Amino acid sequence: MELSKKNLQAEDQIDIVALLAKVWSHKKLIFRSVCVFGIIGIVVALTTPNQYTASSMFTPSSGGKSSGSGGLKGLASLAGINIGSMSEGSKEISPMLYGKIVEGATFKKELLDAPLKNIAGVQTLKAYFNQKESSFSLLGLVKDYTIGLPSKVIGLFKSDAVAATFESVNGIESVSEDEHAYFKAIDAILTLSINDKDGFIEMIAQSENPQVAAQVAKNGELLLQEQIIAIKTKSSLELLQYLEEQYADKKVLLNEAQDRLSRFKDRNLNIATNRFSNNQTRLESELQTATAVFQNVVTQLEQVKFQVTKDTPVFSILKPVVFPSEKSAPKRSLIVFVWLFLGVITSIGFVLAKEPVTSIVQKIVSKED
């Protein structure tokens, strides 16, 4: 038993020695291959454009706990408005929702149309993507037909997507094929990092142009905050709009009641009859009722305005966006090292696999003959 173990160990040692000897015998081929891969790595490292990263870090906080919204619920229910969330104004929006908003079509469409300033020939992010797409890049062409060739071949066998030509109906958004391409471009340059433990959010943008990176990060921050505020204040804003309409209507009714009473008194000066007293009492009662209703609407309107303020989240900027002055990528030394390593692995694999593969091919050919 011990002899068999020793024999196996000896065979393993012999195999390893044999493999090392075979590799050493082809050292010139391996050296040339590594040099070729090294040159390719240097070319890729030198031609890969610099990338600049800009980021914004902020933390949201609610406006505070809602109070006294019970009286507003009955009014809202009459108006057909759901304000269940108003009594829970202190609840924070789940961090998961932030990521869903950034992934959504509405956010990306608005980001595409957000203005970019002080960039030659570009006014929006969409225009920047169009300019970048139209510019010729030798490195990009080489990458498309080397590293990206498999994806191009796979794309040939995929069914063609039908371009969306429908208009938005009943809140269902339509996204065209071109917009899908823009959305992928946004995903490539914009990321959202959420720290659940510490409660802060970081908007990160990366681009070949430092001004684009900074402005996209800032635009993304503002758009995300706007949409979060819209979600938090949706119910209270709907109720506010309803009460503003009621305020205008009740104001008109109050003015009409005042005018009727004034005209009645002007027409009946120095008249003291029971009919006059009854009519005057009725008009004064109508005026008092209109005044009370109007004052009630005014009170509710002020409450809802206060509620909107409470529901509006406050965002504290922990790290504002700054224009990046130093590149964040690429790591050119790392690129060269990876290509050199790839050259070593490829050449050694070729040397070791050449004889077994040749032998298998010869056997197949001999069998066919």
Domain count, the chain: 2
* pTM as predicted: 0.67
Same domain, 217 and 263: yes
Same domain, 2 and 133: no
Same domain, 286 and 219: yes
* Structure tokens that stand for 322 in this block: 């700054």
Which strand ranges, in their side-by-side order, compose the sheet holding 52-61? Answer: 190-195, 200-207, 52-61, 314-319
Same domain, 73 and 218: yes
Could you list the residue range(s) of the whole structural domain that residue 349 is in?
1-48+332-369
Partners of 56 in beta bridges:
203
d(CA 232, CA 223): 14
d(CA 192, CA 212): 17
Same domain, 3 and 57: no
Q: What is the pLDDT of residues 332-364, one digit of tens each?
A: 888 888 888 898 888 888 877 777 777 777 777
Same domain, 16 and 89: no
Same domain, 92 and 237: yes
Q: What is the pLDDT of residues 188-247, one digit of tens each?
A: 999 998 887 777 888 999 988 888 899 999 999 999 989 888 888 888 888 888 888 989
Q: What is the pLDDT of residues 67-125, one digit of tens each?
A: 445 555 555 554 555 555 444 444 566 777 888 888 888 899 999 999 888 777 778 88
Please enumerate in sequence order all residues whose Cβ is within 8 A of that of 215, keeping only pairs 6 or more positions apart, or say none. Answer: 116, 117
Same domain, 219 and 274: yes
Residue given tokens 């030509």 in the structure block = 165
